[in-house]
Chain A
Amino acid sequence: MLPIARRLGVYVVTAWVAVTANFLLPRMMPGNPIQTLIGKLQYNVTPAEVNAIRLSFGGSLHNSLVHQYFTYLDQMFHGNLGVSITLSTPVTTILKGAVPWTVGLIGISTVLSFFIGTFTGALLGWTRGSRMDSLIPTATFFQAVPYFFLGTVMLLVFGSDLHWFPELGAYSLNVTPSWTWAFVSSAIRYGELPMISIVLSSIAGWMLGMRNMMITMVAEDFVLMSVAMGLPRRKVIMTAARNAILPSIANLSLAIGLVVSGALLVELVFNYPGVGNLLLNAVENEDYPLIQGIFLIITLAVLAANLIADLVYFALDPRTRTGATA
């Protein structure tokens, strides 16, 4: 089987597992979930709302589990993820407002952190044993700091003490969301500090991984060969780095999940209106349909990111195209 088809298969199965877990979890818990949900609503529930809740659970609970499951799948393919309890708005509508913020914030900072980290890691690996190595314990420390803690410290120091950056939210209250320069520049300005804290906490992983691969790579014969051929040093480093970067990219699939998980919490610290903040509010209010919808959308987004990383890997490593490494 082609490796890419294999990966795709894994992702399809993963998506199915996520969907099924979403379906099964509430049913494995004691009690009738629909009644629990309705009981949590603060106001009088209209029959239409009860019906909506029931639909989001895959029809009446008196039907067989299989029947419920297929109703549930059918609803989902039609983009119906149920209705949020606290906001009494369809989950899809709520998600539409939050997803762009998160994709922008986490996407850009992950890409930035990958490139800066890999570049620094390559340099560290090349100059191993030099004074630059003292960066490693520091980097390890930053890697071990929870994302949200680093975010909190940055907010305290650079936001509320030094006033270098605006403190909370995603844009100034003086502008209205629209595609105008005033709004976009405000959004960038407010995004800087959360972005810096995500980059700082995630960069060490890329850096250390790349450093270790680089050290292993530098001792390979082809590096000796290119030095012996008299290539300029920059070219030699590039050759070694090009080969050392492959495992980094192959590991992206693990890393993306971790980075996204960590970065979601940064949104809470900065009160950023993205999916992470939404998820935590939903948890606080026990808004189960919303929690599940968010879990699903995050999983799908991570899978899509993984797929892109895999495609890049296949493009970079010719061995995968011939099927030599299955």
Chain B
Amino acid sequence: MKTLNLPRSPKVVLGLGITAFFLLLTIIGPYLAPFSPDDTSFAPNLTPSWHHWFGTTSLGQDIFSQTLVGARATIVVALVAGLVATALSTLVGVSAGYLGGFTDDGLSLMSNVFLAIPGLPLLIVIDSYLPVGSRSNALIIGLVISLTGWAWGARVLRAQTMSLRNRDFIEASRIIGERRWRIMLTEVAPNLLPVLASSLLFTVLYSIGAYVTLAYIGLTSSSVWNWGTMLFWAQANNAPLSGEWYWFVPPGVCIALVGTGLSLLNFGIDEFINPRLRESGLTARQRRRRGLPRRVRLGLTPVLRPVVAKASGPAATSKAAS
């Protein structure tokens, strides 16, 4: 595989930047927080000021500190869930796609069942039966979330594996007499990487949503600060109707930004897999620099000669097309 030419399109650069920023915040966020998130010694309901960047809650806690501290719990749980779910979906998807037969039928049925069950209600049911003590445990919550989030990745990976297994180079190593697991590990797996990466991003994205939602409903321990618990307290104290926007906007915007960063990265991977999308993601200047023909409106193979396109060039195409 040649070096990834992902970070060319502006969307992907933006996505990388946002994701890196929040990963950094996960590590150093709690140290940056000016106050303890539990500290209730400030005046309640302060609007954002120099001293309290995001204002204070109606209990007199500093919202900026809560946001910084909350980044870690939110992203760590999402990463745990995303990694476990991706591991599960790789296991199920690749074996189903590669082994075929009854194994495939059984595993596919399993992932289809998990796809069809609406994830959030299932999560709520499972989580509401968890003992209160384990609700604050990032690992347990992450595992439960991954249980509802692996099926989509498994389906995509199965399809990709199936299309790979009959390629010539796989056939060749089978003829050489390579062992099955070795083929799966050294021949199939590397070619699954883009799909795998995209499915990891997707599950992390899903897990953030699921975790924040659980916290927002009050199903995770309220002693662990994350962006969902912040929203939970804001809703419980009627912040939306009393106009305390500075209480619920920071965590919400953070969630949305992380999500945006991950999806933009995912676009990059999509464009990497699908060359047609890649070219569509370029700006006009980048196209010119790469020597690609001028953008054609109708998606036709350009009928223009690749010389300097004069004003009559594009006009001629569009006339021919319409």
Q: Give the dominant DSSP class at B's interface.
A: helix
Q: Contacts A13-B109, A149-B255, A280-B217 given: A295-B121 contact, CB under 8 Å? A: yes
State whether A149 touches B235 (Cβ < 8 A). no
The answer to whether B122 touches A129, judged by C-beta atoms less than 8 angstroms apart, is no
> Judging by beta carbons under 8 Å apart, are B113 and A17 in contact?
yes
Using C-beta atoms within 8 Å of the partner chain, give the interface range for chain B: 35 or more
**Which of chain A's residues have a CB closer than 8 A to the CB of B264?**
137, 140
Check A10–B256 contact: CB distance below 8 A. Answer: no
**Quick one: which of B117, B125, B298 contacts A257, CB cutoff 8 A?**
B117
Question: Are A160's CB and B125's CB within 8 A?
Answer: no
| Nearest B residue (CB) for A224 | B300
Asked if A215 and B276 make an inter-chain contact with CB atoms under 8 angstroms apart, the answer reads yes
A283 touches B218 (CB 8 A): yes
State whether A286 touches B125 (Cβ < 8 A): no
- A160-B243, A283-B219 known; A144 vs B113 contact (CB < 8 Å): no
B258 at the interface (CB under 8 A from A): yes
Residue from B121, B255, B267 in contact with A279 in the complex, judged by beta carbons closer than 8 Å: B121
Let me know if A295 and B295 touch, CB within 8 A: no
Does chain A have a CB within 8 A of B223? no
Q: Which of A129, A145, A232, A233 contacts B280 (CB 8 A)?
A: A129
CB distance A140 to B260 under 8 Å? yes
Return A24 CB to nearest CB of chain B, in Å: 10
* Interface assignment of A212: CB less than 8 Å from any CB of chain B: yes
| CB within 8 Å for A233 and B115 given contacts A29-B129, A144-B255 | no
Of A56-64, A72-80, A258-266, A315-323, the segment with at least 4 beta carbons within 8 Å of chain B is A258-266
B124 pairs with A283, CB closer than 8 A: yes
A45 close to chain B: CB less than 8 A: no
Tell me the minimal C-beta distance from A270 to chain B in angstroms: 10
Q: Are B252 and A146 in contact (CB under 8 A)?
A: yes
Which residues 94-131 of B have a CB within 8 angstroms of A? 109, 112-113, 115-122, 124-126, 128-129, 131
User: B241 is contacted by which of A137, A156, A292 (Cβ under 8 Å)?
Assistant: A156
Contact A156:B125 (CB < 8 A) given known A141-B260, A146-B255, A265-B213: no
In the complex, what distance in Å separates the CA atom of A127 from the CA atom of B295?
10
In the complex, whether A155 has a CB less than 8 A from a CB of chain B is: yes
Q: Is the interface of A mostly helix, strand, loop or mixed?
A: helix
A34 within 8 A of B: no
Are A292 and B243 also in contact (CB < 8 A) when A215-B277, A227-B321 are?
Answer: no
- The reply to whether B116 and A144 contact each other, CB–CB distance below 8 Å, is no
Q: How far is the CA of A13 from the CA of B112 in the complex (A)?
A: 10
B3 at interface by CB-CB < 8 Å: no
Residues of A within 8 A of B312 (CB): none
Between B116, B119, B284, the greatest number of chain A beta carbons within 10 A of the residue's beta carbon is seen for B116
Q: Is the CB of B125 within 8 A of A145?
A: no
Does B263 interact with chain A (Cβ within 8 Å)? Answer: yes
Q: B79: shortest Cβ distance to chain A, in Å?
A: 17
Q: Which residue of A lies closest to B241 (CB)?
A: A160
Residue numbers of A with Cβ under 8 A of B are 10-11, 13-14, 17-18, 21-22, 25-26, 28-30, 126-129, 136-137, 140-141, 143-146, 148-149, 152-153, 155-156, 159-161, 167, 212, 215-216, 218-219, 223-224, 227, 232-233, 236, 253-254, 257-258, 260-262, 264-265, 268-269, 279-280, 283-284, 286, 288, 291-292, 294-295, 298-299, 302-303, 306
